[in-house]
């Protein structure tokens, strides 16, 4: 017997000004109700009139942000512990960032030195290996902190959470798809993880954009090539909920990435290899199903050559210098 295809996951670019979500929903033939997750908008989670109208009014907002607040009101011990864990994660992020900035600075200095090509290549590779190792270490540390927290507080069986998860499962039972909006990616990941959304949506078609698309990957990379300070150092925030493994999602490339800077693009791609780095400009979208991408519209893939090419275009052979 052939295994039925898994539900599709559609990644989209920013939806704020010129939404393309409706077209993606139509393309996949989703006609039923759509559960929405707007927790990334934080306290403005329920200001979803435009989103609902765009989807023809057939939405059910899962209110994950408000549920989180309710949960913490009902369960102050969990709230305090959660707050403490978040503070601890922030501390770790700060220290990771300090190390990372030094690694990146070392890499920059090494690249700027004059040396025989083979020595330079060896040292550049060593810098990259150091950065990749640090990224992995940080990711592992975050995972350990989360796992320990979940075990200590028995989140899977804690009545205050179980009730919300049951309600969410009931709401999702009446929906054909889930739409996960952008916003604050850390808040979004927290709420998705807290309520076990990965498990709850495994039989649903998922549409996710901007921070939503980042949050459902297995590794959330924060990035900005021109922040108010310095050259901008991409950093790993944490794991996402892993609906689409092996992908680094990079929304808003128009204003966040210098795609014309081959050196920067190259470094980003090599740092996260073998993951696929996808830049999602506004109106872009791509469908993922069973580990295969299809239906790419305006999505850019960042290549080891340092180029950003439309997804699906065969890369030209490149050589490393």
Partner 1 sequence: MTARLAIHKLIDGRVDAARVQAFLAGRSFPIVEGTSVTFVWVGHADNVQLRHWIYGLESSNALVRVAGTDLWHLTLEIPHNSRVEYKYEIHRGGHSGWIEDPLNPNRARDPFGANSVLQSEGYEDPTWTNPDPVTRPGVLEPFVFDSNALGRRTGQLYLPARFRRSRQYPLLVVHDGSDYLKYAGMKTVLDNLIHRLEIPDMIVAFTDSPDRLQEYANDERHARYLTEELVPDLAKRFPLYDQAQARCIMGASFGAVAAMSTAYRFPGFWGRLLVQSGSFAFTDIGKRNRRGPLFDRVVEFVNQYRAQPRAVSERVFVSCGVYESLIYENRSMVPLLSATGMEVRFVEARDGHNWENWRDRLREGMSWLMPGPLMFIYE
The reply on whether position 283 binds partner 1 by CB under 8 A is no
Q: How far is the CB of 235 from partner 1 (least distance, A)?
A: 7
Closest distance of CB 217 from partner 1, Å: 12
Residue of 18, 43, 118, 170 that binds partner 1 (CB under 8 A):
43
Would strands 205-209 and 177-180 be described as parallel, antiparallel, or unpaired? parallel
18 binds partner 1 (CB under 8 A): no
Instruction: Give CA–CA dist 319/186, Å, rounded.
Output: 37
Contact string 186-225 vs partner 1 (x = CB under 8 A): x-----------------------xx--x-------xxx-
Position 184 contacts partner 1 (CB under 8 A): yes
Residues 78-97 that bind partner 1 (CB under 8 A): 87, 94
Which residue of 45, 135, 176, 235 would you call a contact of partner 1, by CB under 8 A?
Answer: 235
| C-beta contacts of 144-153 below 8 A and 24+ residues apart | 145/85, 145/88, 145/89, 145/92, 146/85, 146/193, 146/238, 146/239, 149/81, 149/82, 149/85, 152/81, 153/78, 153/81
Stretch that binds partner 1, among 107-115, 142-150, 168-176, 227-235 (CB under 8 A): 227-235
Sign of CA dihedral 33, 34, 38, 39: positive
Closest CA to 298 of 288, 308, 289, 306: 308
| Residue 150 CB contacts under 8 Å (≥ 6 apart), including other chains | 156
240 binds partner 1, rule: CB under 8 A: no
Rounded to the nearest 10 degrees, the angle between the axes of helix 76-112 and helix 117-152 is: 180
The tokens 């830049």 sit on which residue? Answer: 279
Q: Which is nearer to partner 1, 175 or 189 (CB)?
A: 189
Among 7, 19, 182, 196, binds partner 1 (CB under 8 A): 182
Q: Residue numbers of the site for partner 1 (CB under 8 A)?
A: 14, 16, 40, 43, 69, 87, 94, 98, 182-186, 210-211, 214, 222-224, 227-229, 235, 237, 251-252
């Amino acid at each position: 017997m052939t295994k039925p295809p898994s539900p599709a996951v559609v990644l989209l670019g920013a939806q704020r000004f010129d939404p393309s979500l409706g077209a993606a929903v139509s393309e996949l033939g989703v006609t039923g109700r759509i559960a929405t997750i707007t927790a990334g908008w934080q306290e403005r989670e329920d200001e979803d009139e435009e989103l609902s109208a765009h989807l023809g009014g057939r939405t059910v907002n899962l209110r994950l942000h408000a549920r989180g607040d309710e949960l913490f009101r009902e369960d102050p011990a969990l709230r305090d512990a959660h707050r403490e864990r978040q503070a601890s994660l922030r501390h770790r992020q700060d220290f990771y960032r300090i190390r990372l900035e030094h690694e990146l600075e070392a890499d920059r200095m090494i690249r700027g030195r004059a040396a025989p090509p083979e020595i330079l290549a060896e040292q550049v590779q060593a810098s990259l290996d150091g950065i990749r190792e640090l990224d992995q270490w940080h990711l592992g540390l975050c995972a350990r902190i989360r796992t320990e927290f979940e075990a200590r507080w028995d989140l899977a069986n804690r009545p205050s959470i179980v009730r919300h998860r049951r309600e969410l499962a009931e709401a999702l039972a009446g929906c054909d798809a889930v739409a996960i909006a952008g916003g604050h990616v850390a808040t979004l990941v927290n709420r998705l993880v807290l309520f076990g959304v990965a498990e709850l949506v495994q039989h649903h078609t998922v549409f996710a954009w901007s921070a939503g698309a980042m949050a459902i990957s297995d590794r959330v990379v924060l990035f900005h090539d021109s922040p108010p300070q310095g050259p901008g150092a991409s950093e790993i925030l944490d794991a996402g909920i892993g609906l689409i493994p092996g992908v680094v999602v990079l929304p808003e490339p128009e204003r966040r990435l210098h795609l014309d800077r081959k050196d920067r693009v190259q470094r980003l791609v090599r740092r996260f290899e073998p993951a696929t780095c996808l830049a999602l400009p506004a109106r872009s979208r791509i469908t993922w199903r069973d580990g295969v991408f299809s239906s790419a519209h305006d999505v850019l893939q960042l290549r080891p050559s340092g180029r950003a090419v439309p997804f699906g275009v065969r890369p030209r052979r490149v050589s490393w210098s």
